[in-house]
Amino acid sequence: MELNDWILSLHLLAAALLVGAEVVFGAMIVTLWRENSSVRVNSFFRVSQIATWMVQAGSAGTLVFGVWLSISKDPYEPWNGWIIAALVLWAIAGGLGARAGQAYGAAGMEARRLAGNGDVSSHLVGETFGPSTAFKLHVVSNVAIVLLLIDMIWKPGA
């Protein structure tokens, strides 16, 4: 096996972590839809921490190993159209996902604070875990990730 094979493997593992994290976040959002119980939301704190680690490792890994592959593997170059498209989609997915994560994270911290005082309902938490801006950002981020996967497989223009 060559070095490029290992890099591709790590790139794929990072992609699995990234998409896997979105599954975890998506499942949490559906489960906690319009949930305003601080105890219930706080019970997912550890799961959300794992998903956050997954999305960070997955995002960094896909970028680093992907760019590395585009440099080291023939016939690809970093300035190929489909690779530039992938980088743009990665930035959109990461930027919007990070903004969604900040909003959900703030609601999660609020739930954690309130849960320490008993099961207190929170309007902020219930609103965030509903059809909020954070939810819309999460959906658009996921669409960008699916488009990224399509771009990686079809490689338009390659």
Partner 1 sequence: MIDVLAGMRPDSWNFPLFVHVLGATLAFGAVMAAVGTLLLTPGGGGDPEGLRRFAFRVLLFVGLPAYIVMRVGAQWIYDKENLDAAPEDPTWVSIGFIVGDAGLVVFLLALVLSGIALRRRHSGLGTAAGVLGAVLLVGMVIAVWAMGAKPS
Nearer to partner 1, 43 or 133 (CB): 43
Among 12-20, 82-90, 95-103, 127-135, which window interacts with partner 1 (CB under 8 A)?
12-20
Instruction: Please say whether the beta carbons of 1 and 121 come within 8 A.
Output: no
Distance CA 70, CA 77 (A): 5
Report the amino acid identity of residue 145: I
Three-class DSSP category at 121: strand
Q: What's the closest the beta carbon of residue 35 comes to partner 1, in angstroms?
A: 10
Among 13-21, 89-97, 98-106, 130-138, which window interacts with partner 1 (CB under 8 A)?
13-21
Token digits for 23? 């599954």
* Number of residues near partner 1 (by CB under 8 A): 42
Preceding amide of 75 cis, omega within 30: yes
In the region spanning residues 101 to 130, those forming contacts with partner 1, defined by CB under 8 A, are: 115
Q: Is 28 in the site for partner 1 (CB under 8 A)?
A: yes
Alpha helix segments (H runs only) across 75-132: 81-115, 123-128
Token digits for 109? 């911290």
Nearer to partner 1, 5 or 133 (CB): 5
Among 92-100, 102-110, 122-130, 142-150, which window interacts with partner 1 (CB under 8 A)?
142-150
Q: Is 151 in the site for partner 1 (CB under 8 A)?
A: no
